[in-house]
Amino acid sequence: MPGRMSSALAFFCAALVAAAPAAPRARVVIDPGHGGAQEGAISPDGQLEKAVSLDVARRLKAALEHAGADVLLTREQDVLLALADRVTFANRSKPDVFVSLHLNSMPTRRLRAKLEGVQTFFLSASASGEDARRVAETENADSAGVGAPQPTDTLAFILSDLRRSESHADSARLAYAIHSRLVAASGGSDHGVQQAPFYVLTGVEAPAVLVEFGFISHPEECRKLARPEYRDRIAQAIADGVLAFLAQTAVRDRRPVASSTPP
C-alpha cells in the first residue's frame, strides 16, 4: 500500500510539473553600433567598426539563443539606423536587457599605439570622467538622428522617467556583470565601468549598457579583433555577463528562470 501511494504521489507531482506554464524566455536586444554611411572607427589594417560590431552582435545573439534567450538585433545588415529608431525598436520589443556594441579609437598616433582594452558604460546625465565624456561625445557625434524619442505629454514623461529610474540601478549591475567577464576573456587593459550621457541609452526602458569591447585603433588589438575565435570569446564573455545578470534579477524578483538549454 505505501508503495502504491508513493507511486501515485510521484505521478501526481509529475503531472503538476508538466501542466505548469513554461518559464518565460528572457528577451535581449543587441544594438550593433553605427552602420551604413556611418562607418565608425577604422583600424590600421582597414577594419570598420560598423562591420566588427555587427559580426560580434551576431555571435552574441547565437550564444544567448543557445542558452535559451529570445534575441533581437536593432540592425541585421549594414544599414544606417537613427538613434531614435534604435530606442523605439528596443522599447517596442520590451526586452529584459539592452546591449549596444562599439569599439574605441584614439585620435593621436601616440595614444593609438598606447591604449587598448575594454570599457563598459551605463547611462548618466553627466560623464564620470574626462575619458567617459570623450567616448560619449565620439559615439553621439557619429550617429544618426538626434537622440531618443521625446515623450508627447507630461504623463508619458513621468511614466518614462520612473521606468528609467527603476532600470538605472540594474543597468549598473548589468555593466559590472559583463565587464568583469570581458576583462578576463580579452586579456586587455581594464578601463573600468563608467557612466556617460549616451544618446542610444537615453529612453531605453530596460537595463541598458554600452560596451566598448576593444580599441580598434591599437595596432595589436586590431589584429586580435580580426580573428573569428577572438570575436567568439568576446561574444561569449558578454553573453555570460548578461545571463549572470538575468539569473540574479530572477532570484531577486522571485521569477522563474528560463531553461539554460537550447529550445
Rounded to whole angstroms, what are the CA distances from 83 to 44, 103, 161, 218, 231? 27, 17, 19, 27, 25
Query: Given this model, what pLDDT does residue 199 score?
Result: 87
Integer Cα distance of 89 and 95 in angstroms = 10
CB atoms within 10 A of CB 193: 20
For the chain, which ranges sit under pLDDT 50? 5, 8-21, 144-155, 157-159, 162, 260-263
Kindly list the structural domains of the chain, giving each domain's residue range(s) and its CATH number in brackets, ordered by start: 24-252 (3.40.630.40)
Q: What is the pLDDT of residues 178-202, one digit of tens each?
A: 999 999 999 999 999 999 888 889 8
Integer Cα distance of 175 and 192 in angstroms = 10
What residues contact 82, with CB distance under 8 A and at least 6 apart?
A: 144, 145
Instruction: For CA atoms 87, 92, 96, 102, give the dihedral sign.
Output: negative
Query: Given this model, what pLDDT does residue 217 score?
Result: 97
Average pLDDT score over the chain: 83
Query: Given this model, what pLDDT does residue 14 score?
Result: 45
CA nearest to 56, candidates 38, 78, 32: 32
Contact 57, 101 (CB under 8 A): yes
Query: Given this model, what pLDDT does residue 162 score?
Result: 47
Grid cell of 163 as nine digits: 521606468
Query: Given this model, what pLDDT does residue 51 score?
Result: 98
Q: Can you give the pTM of this predicted structure?
A: 0.81
